[in-house]
Amino acid sequence: MLRWLNGVILTIVSWITVLVIYVIAVFVVTIPWILSAVIAFSVTENTLIQWLIIAPAFIFWGVFFFWFVARFVYPCIFGVWGMAGLVFQKAAEVSFGRVFEFITGRAFLMRQDVRWYFSKVKS
């Protein structure tokens, strides 16, 4: 019972962490977009020049946002799914780990860390 409860708590905390990271990523992107638009509209009334100021910021921060989400947010989500699977299913270590290694080309689950965590939970 305690092991199951630890898994549920770990899953909830992990999901909250993922949401916080995602919200931070959204703010990191939208603030420069808003600032570039404010600067562009305050500097000139020429629409072409305004878009020449705004477009690079939109492109750069948009690419950065998708890179950030792909690099940090999705691995956290996959790790949470894997940890939840380990709590509710004994074979999840192999199934989740192998599937995500195949899809992404790398392991989001650190098997040794997961084994260490559950060895501590058992004792």
The span from the CA of 96 to the CA of 3, in Å, is: 19
**pLDDT at residue 75 tops 70:** no
In the DSSP assignment, the letter for residue 110 is -
Task: State the pLDDT at residue 90.
Answer: 45
Distances (CA, A) of 23 to 19, 27, 43, 56, 106: 6, 6, 30, 23, 25
The span from the CA of 92 to the CA of 114, in Å, is: 11
pLDDT category of residue 117 using cuts at 50, 70 and 90: low
- Write the pLDDT tens digit of every residue in 78-94: 665 555 544 444 444 45
**pLDDT at residue 42 tops 60:** yes
For the question of whether the overall pTM of this predicted structure is more than 0.75, the answer is no
- CA 76 from chain center: how many Å? 5
Distances (CA, A) of 24 to 14, 53, 60, 123: 15, 24, 17, 37
Q: Which residue has the tokens 């999705």?
A: 74
The span from the CA of 39 to the CA of 47, in Å, is: 13
The type of residue at 63 is V
pLDDT category of residue 26 using cuts at 50, 70 and 90: confident
**pLDDT at residue 6 tops 80:** no
Lowest mean pLDDT segment, chosen from 42-46, 107-111, 113-117: 107-111
**pLDDT at residue 102 tops 80:** no
- CA 64 from chain center: how many Å? 13
